């Protein structure tokens, strides 16, 4: 979920080779429905022309402090007041030093000093500058004062050096900005989310698994974190980058997932089981690679623990939300699982529907509640769905207490 839709954002651009990446950031912001006003320092305009930013933001770009026409239309104080968040990307050592030192000698520094909005700084500079104790002190001072930072990344730098100092990826800056604008309505909650498939090993090279990508569970983890919850993500093997600022427990098999969930259950107020858990595992796991022999091979499988059912049998379970991905009789099957597993809510989806299957970024879900209510939802991104699930979890928690 992005919380940037409809928000007024001030994007400060300072002079560095990474300015071109801030064009990409601007595109992400406008695509998310934000109204972006760009302020460029003089040095920034040497790298990319204001026209590029103006065209993409559909707003005039501000470059000078004492421009009479601009000042009349939208002066620096007005910019500072209107912004709901200020982003500085890329931020040079110079601008960071100036902010830390209380210097306000151009439009950007003046605006930053005058704003009451959160300020998110994405530094980009040479590795030695980034490690310079003067820079470090300035950054630490600003952090202490409540300014937010997206750390620079490691890689090859424009100056020819390898190291830390590359501007964070535009997606990371975007995500942080969105998180800063999220409501913190889940503060105080501990939400455990399971995600991805499980793998049940047959031998050292083979396993039984399924097509789950983990996208739904990861979207839930990110959104819950953004909304202030403590998040424990118990994840089967996926290709996804784990969100920062959460507790990640990596598992492979259903039994490992069960152990991980039950080791944390006491501290949880909500458990959301988005993982596609394998129902069966090989009865015997061979320590050696199974050799090809006869014409047919019969595998004997034994039942895995049903984690959600066990949670539902607890004396005082946390709020329990399950998933049901079905190919047929969606409503009947999902209702049966809701009851049998003693859940507060189940997210049901028909994986045969276009846009609702495994490995997609979208879903068409139906939310079923303990009291028999059914809430059908339209096709939407998994991040939007995550937000709705968490809205409902919040409401159910209120009812429960």
Length of the chain counted residue by residue:
401
Choose which of 25, 40, 61, 277 interacts with ligand CTP (CB under 6 A).
Answer: 277
Tell me, yes or no, if 268 is annotated catalytic. Answer: no
Distance, in Å, from the CA atom of 391 to the CA atom of 393, rounded to the nearest integer, reads 5
Distance, in Å, from the CA atom of 344 to the CA atom of 322, rounded to the nearest integer, reads 8
Distance, in Å, from the CA atom of 31 to the CA atom of 23, rounded to the nearest integer, reads 12
Closest to ligand CTP by CB, 10 vs 224, is 224
Closest to ligand CTP by CB, 222 vs 337, is 337
Smallest gap from Cβ 356 to ligand CTP, in A, equals: 14
For 111-159, the DSSP string reads: HHHH--S-EEEEE---HHHHH-HHHHHHHHHHHHTT-EE---EEEE-TT
Residue 306 in contact with ligand CTP, rule: CB under 6 A: yes
For 288, phi then psi, to 5°, come to -115, 155
Closest to ligand CTP by CB, 61 vs 272, is 272
Q: Quick check: 6 and 35 in contact, CB under 8 A?
A: yes
| 154: β partners | 164
Q: Which of residues 158-217 bind ligand CTP (CB under 6 A)?
A: none
Smallest gap from Cβ 345 to ligand CTP, in A, equals: 11
Smallest gap from Cβ 217 to ligand CTP, in A, equals: 9
Of 49-57, 270-278, 355-363, 366-374, the window that binds ligand CTP (rule: CB under 6 A) is: 270-278
Smallest gap from Cβ 307 to ligand CTP, in A, equals: 3
User: In the stretch 310-349, what mask flags binding to ligand CTP with x, by CB under 6 A?
Assistant: ------------xxxx-----------x------------
Catalytic residue among 159, 239, 255, 268: 159
Q: Quick check: 257 and 251 in contact, CB under 8 A?
A: yes
Q: Cα separations (Å) of 22 from 13, 275, 311, 375?
A: 7, 36, 46, 40
Residue 308 in contact with ligand CTP, rule: CB under 6 A: yes
Closest to ligand CTP by CB, 149 vs 323, is 323
Residue 304 in contact with ligand CTP, rule: CB under 6 A: yes
Residue 275 in contact with ligand CTP, rule: CB under 6 A: yes
DSSP 3-state of 54: helix
Smallest gap from Cβ 334 to ligand CTP, in A, equals: 8
Q: Cα separations (Å) of 5 from 29, 52, 257, 363, 385?
A: 8, 22, 36, 21, 16
Closest to ligand CTP by CB, 227 vs 273, is 273
- How far is Cα of residue 170 from the mean position of the Cα atoms in its chain? 13
Q: Which of residues 220-259 bind ligand CTP (CB under 6 A)?
A: 254
Closest to ligand CTP by CB, 282 vs 322, is 322
Q: Which residues bind ligand CTP (CB under 6 A)?
A: 254, 273, 275, 277, 279, 304, 306-308, 322-325, 337
Residues assigned a catalytic role:
159
């Amino acid at each position: 979920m992005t919380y940037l839709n409809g928000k007024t954002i001030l994007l400060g651009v300072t002079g560095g080779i990474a300015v071109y990446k801030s064009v990409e950031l601007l595109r992400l912001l406008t695509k998310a429905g934000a109204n972006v006003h760009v302020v460029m320092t003089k040095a920034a305009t040497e790298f990319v022309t204001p026209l590029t930013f103006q065209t993409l933001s559909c707003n005039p770009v501000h470059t000078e402090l004492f421009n009479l026409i601009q000042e009349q239309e939208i002066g620096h104080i007005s910019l500072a007041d209107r912004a709901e968040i200020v982003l500085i990307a890329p931020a040079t050592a110079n601008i960071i030093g100036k902010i830390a030192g209380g210097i306000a000698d151009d439009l950007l520094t003046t605006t930053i000093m005058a704003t009451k909005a959160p300020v998110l700084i994405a530094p980009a500079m040479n590795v030695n500058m980034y490690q310079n104790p003067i820079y470090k002190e300035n950054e630490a001072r600003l952090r202490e004062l409540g300014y937010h930072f997206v750390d620079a990344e490691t890689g090859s730098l424009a100056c020819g050096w390898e190291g830390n100092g590359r501007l964070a990826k535009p997606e990371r800056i975007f995500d942080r900005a969105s998180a800063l604008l999220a409501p913190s309505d889940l503060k105080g909650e501990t939400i455990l989310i399971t995600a991805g498939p499980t793998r049940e090993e047959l031998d050292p090279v083979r396993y039984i698994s399924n097509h789950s990508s983990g996208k739904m569970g990861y979207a839930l983890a990110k959104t819950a974190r953004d909304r202030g919850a403590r998040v424990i993500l118990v994840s089967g093997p996926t290709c996804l980058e784990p969100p920062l600022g959460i507790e990640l427990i990596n598992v492979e098999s259903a039994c490992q997932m069960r152990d991980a969930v039950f080791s944390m259950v006491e501290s949880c107020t909500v458990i959301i089981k988005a993982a596609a858990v394998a129902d069966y595992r090989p009865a015997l796991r061979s320590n050696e690679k199974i050799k090809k022999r006869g014409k047919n091979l019969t595998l004997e499988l034994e039942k895995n623990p049903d984690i959600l059912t066990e949670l539902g049998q607890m004396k005082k379970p946390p709020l329990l939300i399950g998933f049901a991905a079905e190919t047929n009789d969606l409503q009947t099957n999902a209702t049966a699982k809701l009851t049998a597993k003693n859940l507060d809510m189940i997210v049901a989806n028909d994986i045969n529907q276009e846009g609702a299957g495994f490995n997609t970024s979208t879903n068409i879900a139906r939310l079923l509640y303990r009291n028999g209510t059914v809430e059908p939802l339209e096709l939407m991104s998994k991040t939007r769905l995550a937000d709705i699930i968490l809205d409902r979890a919040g409401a159910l928690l209120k009812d429960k207490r």
